[in-house]
Amino acid sequence: MKTGPSRASPFSAPRALLASLVLGGGLLLAGCAGNPPTAQMAVTQSAVNEAVSGGGNQFAPIETKSAQDKWTQAQAALSNEKYDEAKQLAEQAEWDARLATRKTQAAKAAAALQDAQNSIQQIREEGQINLQLQQNLQKKVQQ
């Protein structure tokens, strides 16, 4: 008895390909979910430190406190291996810290501008006094 070559179903190859793609995609997603957001955590820590050291507690206390609180929550989430939550909190903390830094810079610039304007006003007043003294001196000389 002669047996012919076995014929596979024409759908078996696409099904196998689909199954491997689904399995590979699932493994990829599972792998991504299990990675701690170390880069984001480092960026956030730097931003929070910059906000605090730059004077954020004085010039932008609400934003600085929010950044510090979210940073603490992000660290706790990271410790509990809740990586998505840790990343989200770290991103929020980073933006709060950057806002605090910008508000601090703006407040310092406004203070510097006010100091410059005060100095200019003082120079003008001194110039007026000197001008009046010169005019009075000239009047006395002419008499």
Residue type, 16: A
Position 103 in a domain: yes
Mean pLDDT of the region 11-29: 51
pLDDT at 30: 45
Position 123 in a domain: yes
Position 12 in a domain: no
Structural domain boundaries enclosing 59: 37-142
Angle, helices 61-79 vs 38-53, to 10°: value is 150
- CATH number for the domain spanning 92: value is 1.20.1270.390
Q: How many domains does the chain have?
A: 1
Position 10 in a domain: no
pLDDT at 29: 45
pLDDT digits (tens, 9 = 90+) for 59-77: 999 999 999 999 999 999 9
